[in-house]
Amino acid sequence: MKAACQSTGLVHVTVDGKSARSSPKDTFTGCLHLVSAWAVENRLVLGARCVPEGGHEITTIPDLLAALDLAGAVVTIDAAGCQAEIVRQIRNQGGDADVDAVVMVGRERCVAGGKHVRSITT
């Protein structure tokens, strides 16, 4: 990914969720769960959102992405972000999507664990 970003001039932004297992136990899942955007080359957190109690990463990712300027960025997300609406949002904000290490070029597709999940049309 680093070589691809260097050769194209794109900025690599990765989105991922993490659970803080040592956080107070009065939350729905028993821990604090955050989704963050990370500028890989700069080693900088661009933004983070707390997953609401009873919520999921899938519902929190769009809110996080809306706060970012994705023009000139390639955004990588694991299988949790393998959603047509999330890919569309990234594209609409000027970014390119790479979901679960599958580059989205031309006809877009989502792959989870090496298995084709569905084609996405924007």
pLDDT of 105 over the 50 cut: no
| Tokens 């919520």 belong to residue | 55
Look up residue 88 and give its amino acid.
R
Instruction: Return the closest-CA partner of residue 86 out of 67, 66, 101.
Output: 66
| Domain boundary assignment for the chain | 2-120
Q: Tell me which of 33 and 65 has the higher pLDDT.
A: 65
Question: Residue 62 in 3-state DSSP?
Answer: helix
Statement: residue 113 has pLDDT above 50: no
Q: What is the pLDDT of residues 35-50, one digit of tens each?
A: 999 998 889 999 999 9
Q: Kindly report the CATH class assigned to 2-120.
A: alpha beta
Token representation of residue 107: 């006809």
